[in-house]
Amino acid sequence: MDQSSAQEFIQHLINGISLGSIYALIALGYTMVYGILQLINFAHSEVYMVGAFAAYYTGKGLGLDQHPGFGALFALLLAAVVVCSILGVTIERLAYRPLRKAPKLNILITAIGVSLLLQYSGQIIFGADPKLFPEVIKDVTVFQLGGVEVRSLDITILVVGTLVMIGLHFLVHATKIGTAMRAVSSNTMVARLMGINVDQVISFTFVIGSSLAGIASVLVGLKYPKIDPLMGMLFGIKAFVAAVLGGIGSLPGAMLGGVILGLSEEMVVGYLSSTYRDALAFGILIVILLFRPSGLLGSQTREKV
Amino acid sequence: MTAKPTAARENILKVSDLAVSYGGIQALKSVSFEVKTGEIVSLIGANGAGKTTTLRAVSSLVPYTGTVEFKSKSGEVLNLATVPQHRIVKFGLAHSPEGRGVFPNLTVLENLQMGAFSRTDKEEIAQDLELCFASFPRLKERVKQKAGTLSGGEQQMLAIARALMAKPSLLLLDEPSLGLAPLIVAQIFEIIKKINSEGMTVLLVEQNARMALKISDRAYVVETGKISFSGRGKDLLGDPRIIDSYLGGH
Ligand SMILES: Nc1ncnc2c1ncn2[C@@H]1O[C@H](COP(=O)(O)OP(=O)(O)O)[C@@H](O)[C@H]1O
Ligand SMILES: [Mg+2]
């Protein structure tokens, strides 16, 4: 490898990991809900979409693109997290909880219904044309390392993504509610015998998963600033593939699957052709389902939540 | 069993006319029994008789008709059907389920902490954890291990210890001897006797009728969703109806 191709590779590496950490954030929401309810929450991608719009309107309303910086970023993240949490919990309450004892297929179809409902409501409420996400972080080259440009946006995404995942790890492993989440995921009936209020734990899981989607939506808005009500479809499916790749139900799996998917997409685009970008995720899905349906880190003793 | 004055004691649990259906199948038709403070009471009976279902109904895990009255730690008699399920433990009723039900991917310590989930008295929980380790030194050695890596006997001890971490006044134990080697079974029954001698009231479900009757003050025989008869533990050990059906004929 000569120097310029090594630089190019490292550039792709940085882009890939930053895209991957966004996939990971969304994948975590799929995997947490699956771990606790054995439900693929198809509406999760629309929660993510609504998060982007919550941040968009907050940014516009407060004129935050005139005052870029971490304060503005924080405001957008907060708006997306609050709106997504409320939406996620509401969906669970209204659409899934009444079906708690129904066959799994009924809940799955309901989830698809909620997803479509939000897509079409989004088009009515927000309008179908793309909107330009407020640029609260100026994407400038922060430093050059041996010819590789390290840009502020990628640093922001990596720092936010890493902090959030460390926080999640702490939450799940070092708090009482986090341990209760793992207990419910492991055996709901026995969790009830411990006096755990399972409905409350499920709500809490939706709050956390939806918050992560909200955070991801802001990071995506910064990186790919055109947002529209159908933005959740493709991105959501890819994040879902990342969750399956890592092993659905496994938190480290979702993180790993996200990063692998982001990296592979970036490499495919960089070295083959961008035409294959979207096909790649589905290719991975098919291969995983054929050869290792439990995913990379999924197994009998996996850490489900 | 040392003579314990049971006559003067009050009911801690009174179950009347309990009936449970799973879908169209009636698993319990009419089950009535009572447990007095300080007793070990056993429900014995064949596989499928309805013992587990009875305990599940008492813990409000399945819908039922009939009444379950429980005297809470504060002395109040509660109709458990009117109490939110997740608050039952807080009132003093802990239930160690059939098949042990340890959380395999949680550590031993986390399992015990989940046992104390309903409690908020941090310092007392820490003290009880120490007491628990004193009674179950094997668990202390394995405190950071995932519960799924324990042996069957250790998992059963963890399940009992976890239930005790709720600081209950009544302990429900569903088939603690299930699938364990005879030596371990003997240890488990010793533990149950010890817990009881320290003041814990125990409602025990067992297929191992001989072991159960030996340590029980009283026992009820469950047959196809009904109580067919009951008596004092040592009397039933010599009862021909029991000997023929549940003690292997001699
Ligand atoms: N979840 C369930 N769904 C349907 N039937 C059940 C279920 N659990 C138990 N049963 C049935 O209820 C009856 C009583 O079962 P159970 O209470 O487990 O008996 P035991 O604990 O005495 O072996 C059995 O006929 C059993 O097949
Ligand atoms: Mg049983």
ipTM score over 0.90, yes or no:
yes
Contact yes or no for B114 and A180 at CB 8 A: yes
Whether B138 maps to a domain, the answer reads no
A3-291 belongs to CATH 1.10.1060: no
3-state DSSP call for residue B23? coil
Query: For residue B120, what are the contacts with CB-CB under 8 A and spacing of at least 6?
Result: none
Residue A179, chain B, CB below 8 Å: the answer is yes
Q: Using one digit for the tens of pLDDT, what is the confidence trace for A64-107?
A: 888 888 999 999 999 999 999 999 999 999 999 999 889 989 99
Q: Check: CB of residue B72 under 8 Å from CB of residue B26.
A: no
Residue B97, chain A, CB below 8 Å: the answer is yes
Q: Where are the domains of chain A?
A: 3-291
- Backbone torsions φ then ψ of B40, nearest 5 degrees: -110, 120
Whether B179 maps to a domain, the answer reads no
B182 CB neighbour count, 10 Å cutoff: 10
Q: Domain total for chain B?
A: 1
The percent of residues in chain A predicted with pLDDT above 70, rounded, is: 97
Q: Using one digit for the tens of pLDDT, what is the confidence trace for B58-82?
A: 999 999 999 999 999 999 999 999 9
Q: What is the pLDDT of residue A299?
A: 66
Mean pLDDT of chain A, nearest integer: 92
Question: For A102-163, what is the HEC assignment?
Answer: CCHHHHHHHHHHHHHHHHHHHHHHHCCCCEECCCCCCCCEEEEECCEEEEHHHHHHHHHHHH
A179 CB neighbour count, 10 Å cutoff: 23
Question: DSSP labels for A227-276?
Answer: E-TTHHHHHHHHHHHHHHHH-TTBHHHHHHHHHHHHHHHHHHHHHT-GGG
Q: What is the pLDDT of residue A218?
A: 97
Among A186, A197, A301, beta carbon nearest to B86: A197
HSE value, Cβ hemisphere, 13 Å, CA-based, for B186:
2
CATH of the domain at B217: 3.40.50.300
Q: Is the model's pLDDT at B197 over the cut of 70?
A: yes
H or E segment to which residue A84 belongs: helix A70-91
Angstroms from B171 CA to nearest CA on chain A:
12
Whether B132 maps to a domain, the answer reads no
Chosen from B60, B73, B86 to mutate, greatest number of chain A CBs within 10 A: B86
Model pTM score: 0.91
HSE value, Cβ hemisphere, 13 Å, CA-based, for B139:
27
Amino acid symbol at A221: G
Q: Check: CB of residue B144 under 8 Å from CB of residue B107.
A: yes
B174 lines ligand 1 (CB under 6 A): no
Whether B173 maps to a domain, the answer reads no
Whether B142 maps to a domain, the answer reads no
Q: Which atom of ligand 1 is nearest to the CA of B20?
A: 12
Whether B195 maps to a domain, the answer reads no
Residues of chain A contacting residue B104, judged by C-beta atoms under 8 Å apart: 186, 301
Instruction: Give the residue numbers spanning the domain of B239.
Output: 1-88+202-250
Whether B234 maps to a domain, the answer reads yes
Among B86, B103, B162, beta carbon nearest to A186: B103
- Report which of B200, B249, B187, B246 is spatially closest to residue B43, judged by C-alpha positions: B246
